[in-house]
Structure 1
Amino acid sequence: MRIDLLEHFATIVGPADAIVPLFDAAMLYSSALQDGDVWAEVKAARHELEEAALDNCRGRGGPVEVTESVLAFMHRHHFVGNVEDYEDPRNSLMDRVLERRLGLPISLSVLAMHLCERCGVELHGVSFPGHFLVGLELESDAPKVWDPFRGGRRLDLEDLAELFSSVVGQTVEAESARLRSTLVPCPSRMVLTRMLENLRRHYARAGERERVADTLELLAVLHPDVARIRELLAEQPGRRHLLN
Structure 2
Amino acid sequence: MDPTIQSILDRAGAQPDDAIDLAEAALALAALDRPRGVGFDWYRRHLDQLTGDVTREAERVTPAEALTAVLARRWGYAGDVDSYDDLQNANLMRVIDRRKGLPVTLGILYLHVARAQGWTMVGLNFPSHFLVRLDAGGARTILDPFHAGMNRGPGELRDLLKAVLDAGAELMPEHYEPVSDRDILLRLQNNLKVRHIRAGDFGKALAVIEAMRRFAPLHAPLLREAGILYARLGNMRAAIDALDRYVSAPGEPETQRHEAAILLQSFRTSLN
The alpha carbon displacement at 1:207 in A equals 2.6
1:147 to 124, 144, 147: 144
1:169 to 166, 171, 175: 166
Q: Is the 8 A contact 1:80 1:102 kept in 2?
A: yes
Letter aligned with residue 110 of structure 1:
I
1:130 and 2:128 aligned: yes
Q: How many residues align?
A: 233
1:192 to 167, 175, 185: 185
Q: Give 1:150-229 correspondences, 5 Å limit.
A: 150-171=147-168, 178-229=171-222
Residue 59 and residue 100 in structure 1: after superposition, are their counterparts in 2 closer, same or farther (change >3 A)?
A: closer
Aligned to 2:51: 53
- Residue by residue over 1:8-65, the C-alpha shift from the partner in whole angstroms, topping out at 9 and shown as x without a partner, is 4112332566632111110111112436454x6x522431442343244237369x92
Letter aligned with residue 231 of structure 1:
R
The alpha carbon displacement at 1:230 in A equals 1.8
- The answer for unaligned runs of 5 or more in structure 1 is none
Give me the whole-angstrom Cα distance separating, in 2, the residues matched to 1:59 and 1:169: 38
Give me the whole-angstrom Cα distance separating, in 1, the residues matched to 2:221 and 2:172: 30
Give me the whole-angstrom Cα distance separating, in 1, the residues matched to 2:198 and 2:37: 23
* Greater helix share, structure number: 2
Aligned to 2:263: none
- Aligned-pair RMSD on alpha carbons? 3.0
Give me the whole-angstrom Cα distance separating, in 2, the residues matched to 1:206 and 1:54: 40
Aligned to 1:91: 89
Residue 137 and residue 172 in structure 1: after superposition, are their counterparts in 2 closer, same or farther (change >3 A)?
A: farther
TM-score (norm 2): 0.74
- The answer for unaligned runs of 5 or more in structure 2 is 246-272
1:70 and 2:67 aligned: yes
Counterpart of 2:178 in 1: which secondary structure?
A: coil
Give me the whole-angstrom Cα distance separating, in 2, the residues matched to 1:86 and 1:134: 19
Give me the whole-angstrom Cα distance separating, in 2, the residues matched to 1:6 and 1:170: 43
Larger Cα-atom Rg: 2
The alpha carbon displacement at 1:163 in A equals 0.9
Residue 143 and residue 49 in structure 1: after superposition, are their counterparts in 2 closer, same or farther (change >3 A)?
A: closer
Give me the whole-angstrom Cα distance separating, in 2, the residues matched to 1:15 and 1:50: 23
Q: Is the 8 A contact 2:142 2:151 kept in 1?
A: yes
Letter aligned with residue 131 of structure 1:
H
TM-score (norm 1): 0.82
The alpha carbon displacement at 1:95 in A equals 0.7
Letter aligned with residue 162 of structure 1:
D
Matched residues, percent identical?
26
* Bigger relative contact order, structure 1 or 2 (CA pairs below 8 A, ≥6 apart): 1
Letter aligned with residue 134 of structure 1:
V
Letter aligned with residue 27 of structure 1:
L
1:31 and 2:28 aligned: no
